[in-house]
Amino acid sequence: MPRRTVIEAADLPHHTNPIPTAVKIGNLVFTSALFGHDPKTQQLPDDPDAQVSNVFRAVRRVMEEAGGSVSDIGKMTVYLRDMQLRDLVNREWLKMFPEEDDRPVRHTMPMATAAGSALIQVELIAVLAS
């Protein structure tokens, strides 16, 4: 039996490289890069607001597929093509984590390189509750 459980779903972004969207090892969840693809078309919308909303939707879906919730996230790293998108990220962040005393840590930084027209990329580490 493989040590890792691959986490994939039809409405999650799929990589062109041979890597899964996320994996679960024991009670730990790790994602590869999550982008703001439209869940139905798998295309990146031109609208920055849509890309940011889509990537946070993808975070919720990964955690659901892993058997947890966003409450299990310990750290998120957010890469932005334009740091002025931080306001859009903060808006979605506060929707996802409304309780000030119950938020994961987050590191937001400029994207060194971006895949195609991606404006945002997110990676996370989560610990599922036992």
What's the pTM value of the predicted model, to 2 decimals?
0.94
Three-state secondary structure string covering 59-99: HHHHHHHCCCCHHHEEEEEEEECCHHHHHHHHHHHHHHCCC
User: Would the pLDDT of 113 be above 90?
Assistant: no
Amino acid found at 72: D
Structural domain count, the chain: 1
Q: What pLDDT does residue 1 have?
A: 62
**In this predicted model, what pLDDT tens digit does every residue of 41-78 receive, in sequence order?**
989 999 999 999 999 999 999 999 999 999 999 999 99
Can you give the residue range of the structural domain that contains 52? 5-127
**Alpha-carbon dihedral angle through residues 34, 77, 101, 59, given to the nearest 10 degrees:** 0
Q: How far apart are CA 129 and CA 45, in angstroms?
A: 34
Determine what percent of the chain falls in helix, strand and coil, rounding each to the nearest 5: 25, 25, 45
Contact (Cβ atoms closer than 8 angstroms) between residue 68 and residue 116: no
Provide CB contacts within 8 A for 41, sequence distance 6+: none
Please report, for the domain that includes residue 74, its CATH number. Answer: 3.30.1330.40
To the nearest whole percent, how much of the chain has pLDDT over 90? 81
User: Would the pLDDT of 21 be above 90?
Assistant: yes
> What does the block give as tokens for 69?
């919730």
Q: What pLDDT does residue 10 have?
A: 85
Q: How far apart are CA 61 and CA 40, in angstroms?
A: 13
Which H helix or E strand runs over 51? helix 48-65
pLDDT bucket at 15, cuts 50 / 70 / 90? confident
